[in-house]
């Protein structure tokens, strides 16, 4: 397993909340790991500061609730601003991956 690439965790969190609806931190971490095919390991020391930052920026909101195992847990959900941020970040990543694919693809030699 590898750690999350710099700058990708926020997008993974936003996309997870868009797909799954409100989730607590443990649920977000598990879903990210599951979606990556267990190729990404989410460190809680990284996840919770990212959640806090996204909340402070207005991209997610939180409220206390009860988890499946009857424990108190903070649930996070996407805001309208978070949906816009996610779409903007997705476009940037699609552009970046398209550009990188050109560099990583085998180059035809000039004839």
User: Per the domain annotation, does 20 fall within a domain?
Assistant: yes
Angle at 96 between CA 23 and CA 98, to 5 degrees: 110
Determine the Cα–Cα distance for residues 98 and 47; give it in Å rounded to an integer. 28
Q: What is the CATH number of the domain that holds 12?
A: 1.10.10.10
At 51 the pLDDT is: 96
Question: What is the distance, to the nearest Å, from the Cα of residue 82 to the centroid of all Cα atoms in its chain?
Answer: 11
Determine the Cα–Cα distance for residues 84 and 2; give it in Å rounded to an integer. 28
Predicted confidence pLDDT, tens digits, the chain (111 residues): 455 666 789 999 999 999 999 999 999 999 999 999 999 888 889 899 999 999 999 999 999 999 888 999 999 999 999 999 999 999 999 999 999 999 998 776 654
Residues 6+ apart with CB under 8 A from 93: 8, 11
User: Per the domain annotation, does 72 fall within a domain?
Assistant: yes
User: Per the domain annotation, does 89 fall within a domain?
Assistant: yes
Beta bridge mates, 63: 75
Count of structural domains, the chain: 1
Contact 31, 23 (CB under 8 A): yes
User: Per the domain annotation, does 111 fall within a domain?
Assistant: no
For residue 25, the enclosing domain spans 2-104
User: Per the domain annotation, does 23 fall within a domain?
Assistant: yes
pTM summary value: 0.85
At 55 the pLDDT is: 97
User: Per the domain annotation, does 109 fall within a domain?
Assistant: no
């Amino acid at each position: 397993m590898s750690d999350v690439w710099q700058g990708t965790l926020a997008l993974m969190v936003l996309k997870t909340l868009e797909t799954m609806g409100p989730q607590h931190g443990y649920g977000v971490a598990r879903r990210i790991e599951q979606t990556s095919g267990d190729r990404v390991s989410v460190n809680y020391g990284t996840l919770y500061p990212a959640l806090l930052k996204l909340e402070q920026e207005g991209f997610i909101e939180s409220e206390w609730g009860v988890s499946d195992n009857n424990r108190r847990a903070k649930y996070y959900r996407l805001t309208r601003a978070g949906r816009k941020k996610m779409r903007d970040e997705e476009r940037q990543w699609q552009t970046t991956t398209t550009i990188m694919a050109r560099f990583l693809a085998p180059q035809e030699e000039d004839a």
